[in-house]
Structure 1
Amino acid sequence: MSRVMCVWLPNFSIQRVRAERPELNGRPCVLYRASARQAVQVAACSRSASRAGVRPGMPLAEARALLDGAVREGRLPEPVFLPNSPDADQAALRSLAWACSRFSPWVSIEPSEPPDTLVLDLTGCVHLFGDEWAMAARVAGMLHRRGYFSFVALADTIGAAWALAHYGALARGRARRLQSLPVDALRLPAPVLQTLHDLDLHRIGQVERLPRASLPSRFGSILVQRLDQLAGRQPESLVPIPPPEYIEACRSFEDPVSDARALAVALRPLFDQVLKTLPPREGILRCTVRLQTADKEPVTFDVGLVRPTESAEHVIQLLQLQWQRRPLPRQVMGIDIRVTQSAPMLSRQRWLFGDGAGLSGVQQEAGRHLADLLDRLSSRLGPNAVVRPRLHPDAQPERAVVDEPVQPFVVAACAGRDHRKATRACTGREAKGGGKAGLPGRQTRSPVADRPLRICQPPMAVQVMSVVPEGPPLRVWRNGRSEDVVRSWGPERIQTGWWREETVRRDYFRVELQDGRHLWLFRDLVRDQWFLHGMFD
């Protein structure tokens, strides 16, 4: 079954302006345009301007008068008036659509006027992000970090997802949710909607109860088409947007260049050029520098960063570190730069007093210096040489932590991702005879996720005495010493699936010894042997 996600960005023109210019937040904003009669009209307005009486289509002079009166009365701050730019809106929406391509390979812009809706085909993609709710939250969170507010809905058809995203708050009940939506949710032309309202047909359910044969002659074929698309009786194609063009800059030399310092000087204006071409408030996250040679194949250097940057000097320093690891060609005839990945810059709050020398300022500066250090180490040693531990959703404890490169563009190549489903495992509950703690062998309840920080790799074989083979440990022999167990927790059954090369079936116990130490033991049910797997601090 196909699944479709619709993302509606209400009042997108105003959202786009405020995302590009955050200093306008909190101020009434009005976008104006020239009409066919050469009169200047309001194209869009913010919510605060609407509360003052401003409406789209209103003459700009009337909107100014209303807002000036609200400012004199102290109800609103000073408003801002800007020209409307449909081209900028279209470019910004395409940029958001490209950003959503990380969630689905099929992303489209819904043809509407003005454009404000994205459509994603999620068929076969939802399981990569957990479930539909988690995926919708990630899409909305990504847009929120870019400064946009959105409504997200999922359904089996494009029409149903569009209707729920725009009018889902008006639905009554779940069984007949689409039928209770207004007819405006059918994406009909304005004349058809006006005819339906004149006939007192305000809900989709009312229209569906009319004789189907009479609908084309009374309202046109578009009404039947939209009803069939809503219910899935007629397919609706989704045209994905083409991939974005890379931002590039190049330069050729009249004479061959072999000096690294000369190349660094030539790179500076090229990086300044690509940084100016990037969307507002975005920086370089990954770029490729290609050196054209006279007699050999081009030499390529990939530069990745932990966080986006607008500093050309920082990227050039990372390149110079790579040049220490890889020799430069003797005769360089030209340089090509391509920005393969960009990302929004991390915003920093301005300090009210001083230069941010307090604790928060020190923490922010430490984070920036740490990112710079990781960038330099990755460039000097290679991106796969600088790694960090990451929890991996695997039931087998020795596979629950993996190492991944710190640079984000390499993370995708690592095995396992946080949003993927965990390996199937069987987690056993405590035995029925478990009671209160305090006596040897008596079991108490413990959280399943309780894990020691120190793991023995590989597990250490030990000897254990218990009343019954599958019972809790009573005594442990380790390093030639016998230690009595004061109390224990468990068992916790961990079992991997049949697709693993080696079947793992274990019963884990956390035990407390007489000296207060806590050990993590398990009984291998396949080999019928006990092992020490970790120690709690």
Structure 2
Amino acid sequence: MRRVVSLYLPTWPTDRIRRKFESPPPDKPLVTVRTTGSRRIIASACQAARQCGLIEGMPVAQAQALVPDLHVMDADPEGEAKSLLELAKWAIRFSPVVALDSPDGIWIDIAGVEHLFGGEEALLKTLIARLEINGIRACAAIADVPGAAWAVARYGKGGIIPPGRAVDAVSCLPVQALRLSPPTIGAMHRLGVERIGQLAAMPRAPMVRRFGREASLRLDQALGHAAEPISPIIPEETTVATRIFAEPIARLEDLKLVVRQLSEEVCRTLVKKGQGVRRLDIVFRRVDEKGAALRAGTAKATRDHAHLAKLFDDRLETIDPGFGIEEVVLIASRTEPLDATQMVARGLDEAEEEADISRLVDRLAARVGVDRVYRLAPVETLVPERMAAKVPALSPPARSAWPDGLPRPTRLLDPPEGIITTALLPDYPPAAFIWRRVRYKVIKADGPERITSEWWLGDQHRMLRDYYRLETDKGARFWVFRDAPLSEGGRWWMHGFFA
């Protein structure tokens, strides 16, 4: 199913200036101006300027009278367009299908790749957060209809529109959300048509006579009744292989064959460049102008075309061919230098070579998700829940290591669970405890082992725990701790248990 992100950058010209010159501060009003005849008017205004009442089209003299300390810069449409193109290339990390929506937006078709980011909501949050960290204000909406996503991102609150709910999402929005020309919008206002729902309720023939065919087309695109293709941008340096068919294809076997052929073609090109694939995108374009995309990554650079093709085999079944697919594009969207290597040498004992598990990692990641294939690396801390961190499966070994001889349980509870205990003396272990409504009698115990947080974290993160290893009368062994001395009202917690 098609899912499109409409990314709206309401203050892109001024955000670009701040990123380029690192001034003025965000809380200082900034506008860009253009010259129309003998008049200088505001072309764009930052958020601080808008809060002061400055809007696009206002004369600069009037704006400076309202805000004496106003920062004024000349508008640079050409520079803004080039910067927007670079931002769109950056957005390819989220999906292979990215297109410009000039002058202040970007299209991103995320169908088939949203699971790589933990779902649509997580993808949207990551996208907006990355932009805001870099000083770019943004609003975005996701819908199965590009026109609906565009309308909600600019005239709604943004967010996710459930599949099939485009009509409900845009009906209450103003007609300006239909991407129509100002004269057409003015004609609608004169007739009292303010909302998209009002326009959609009008008979089609009179509406076309009054407002033109463009209004009918834009309305159908917003409601999902007309196709709106997105032509992705592909950087010139990117390695691409394309197949266009005289007759559309739809069988799964044909798709697999095409993917294998394109993978072989891409790898031949990469051999000449001395590069290997780290991320591979495949885009399908259907006869009805709709499309879909799949993405696969590799743990390390490779030019094994058979292995790359297999990464898509299980997921090709999720592609809906509709009335047929007329074009398939395979894109090596991320590559790394990869020199030729000799696989087998005479006199070399192959048994001594280190096993290459990168293919296994790639297949598992393609099947269950990249975030679920990892290994644990040691972290230099004594706090139990922070002693391990998830790292990529093939990342180099860490320099640090876990201390030898630490009596640690085979499993930790996250978070620790409270228990009810009876302690004989302040520093003594419990004689018995209740955990998950079951009473346990302790026959052996060892401790306490005091663990504190790192001093450089400050008093806000200060932590003190006294750990005990307990063995019950039934042979079970547990790891419990008290989070403060008994005189200070410390509570007991179950943190893990031994095999």
The TM-score, its normalising length taken from structure 1, stands at 0.47
C-alpha distance 414-228 of structure 1, shift in aligned 2 (>3 A)? farther
Contact 2:11 2:137 in 1 (8 A): no
Q: Which residue of 2 aligns with 1:485?
A: 471
C-alpha distance 245-53 of structure 1, shift in aligned 2 (>3 A)? same
C-alpha distance 436-186 of structure 1, shift in aligned 2 (>3 A)? same
Aligned partners of 1:487 and 1:213: how far apart in 2? 86
1:203 aligns with 2:195: yes
1:83 aligns with 2:74: yes
Aligned residue identity for 1:485: E
Aligned residue identity for 2:142: L
Contact 2:471 2:477 in 1 (8 A): no
C-alpha distance 518-194 of structure 1, shift in aligned 2 (>3 A)? closer
Q: Which residue of 2 aligns with 1:18?
A: 18
Structure 1 counterpart SS, 2:41: strand
Aligned partners of 1:486 and 1:108: how far apart in 2? 64
Instruction: Render the CA deviation track for 1:154-209: whole Å, top value 9, x for unaligned.
Output: 111111111111111399x9973321111111111212111111111111111111
Offset of residue 30 of structure 1:
2.5
Structure 2 counterpart SS, 1:127: helix
Q: Which residue of 2 aligns with 1:178?
A: 170
Alignment of 1:448-463 (within 5 A): none
Contact 2:440 2:472 in 1 (8 A): no
Q: 1:401 aligned to 376, 386, 392, which one?
A: 376
Aligned partners of 1:129 and 1:298: how far apart in 2? 30
Aligned partners of 1:238 and 1:211: how far apart in 2? 29
Contact 1:181 1:203 in 2 (8 A): yes
Aligned partners of 2:44 and 2:474: how far apart in 1? 67
Q: Which residue of 1 aligns with 2:157?
A: 169
Q: Which residue of 1 aligns with 2:225?
A: 233
Q: Which residue of 1 aligns with 2:89?
A: 98
Q: 1:134 aligned to 122, 125, 132, which one?
A: 122
Q: Which residue of 2 aligns with 1:34?
A: 35
Structure 1 counterpart SS, 2:154: helix
Q: Structure 2: which 5+ runs fail to align? A: 239-271, 276-334, 337-357, 359-369, 380-390, 396-411, 423-429, 445-468, 482-491
Offset of residue 45 of structure 1:
2.7
Aligned partners of 2:222 and 2:273: how far apart in 1? 53
Aligned partners of 2:128 and 2:190: how far apart in 1? 37
Q: Which residue of 1 aligns with 2:354?
A: none
Contact 1:104 1:121 in 2 (8 A): yes
Relative contact order (alpha carbons < 8 A, sep ≥ 6): 1 or 2 greater? 2
Q: Which residue of 1 aligns with 2:135?
A: 147
Contact 2:470 2:477 in 1 (8 A): no
Aligned residue identity for 2:144: D
Structure 1 counterpart SS, 2:234: coil
Offset of residue 53 of structure 1:
5.2
Contact 1:444 1:488 in 2 (8 A): no
Aligned partners of 2:208 and 2:113: how far apart in 1? 38
Structure 1 counterpart SS, 2:23: helix
Q: Which residue of 1 aligns with 2:465?
A: none
Q: Which residue of 1 aligns with 2:43?
A: 43
CA RMSD of the aligned region, Å?
Answer: 4.8
Structure 1 counterpart SS, 2:156: helix
Contact 2:419 2:494 in 1 (8 A): no
C-alpha distance 393-52 of structure 1, shift in aligned 2 (>3 A)? closer
Contact 1:108 1:118 in 2 (8 A): yes
C-alpha distance 137-50 of structure 1, shift in aligned 2 (>3 A)? closer
Aligned residue identity for 2:30: C
Structure 1 counterpart SS, 2:193: coil
Q: Structure 1: which 5+ runs fail to align? A: 72-77, 247-296, 301-339, 342-383, 385-391, 405-410, 416-426, 429-433, 447-470, 477-482, 490-507, 522-531
Aligned partners of 1:23 and 1:488: how far apart in 2? 69
Alignment of 1:343-422 (within 5 A): 401=376, 414=394
Aligned partners of 2:95 and 2:274: how far apart in 1? 33
Aligned residue identity for 1:28: P
Q: Which residue of 1 aligns with 2:285?
A: none
Instruction: Render the CA deviation track for 1:198-241: whole Å, top value 9, x for unaligned.
Output: 11111111111111232222211112212221222211111112
Contact 2:44 2:56 in 1 (8 A): yes
Aligned partners of 1:51 and 1:394: how far apart in 2? 45
Instruction: Render the CA deviation track for 1:60-101: whole Å, top value 9, x for unaligned.
Output: 34433x14xx43xxxxxx222211101111122112111111
Query: What percentage of residue pairs aligned between the two structures are identical?
Result: 29
Aligned partners of 2:273 and 2:110: how far apart in 1? 39
Aligned partners of 1:215 and 1:518: how far apart in 2? 70
Q: Which residue of 2 aligns with 1:158?
A: 146
Offset of residue 245 of structure 1:
5.4
The TM-score, its normalising length taken from structure 2, stands at 0.50
C-alpha distance 472-133 of structure 1, shift in aligned 2 (>3 A)? farther
Offset of residue 520 of structure 1:
5.6
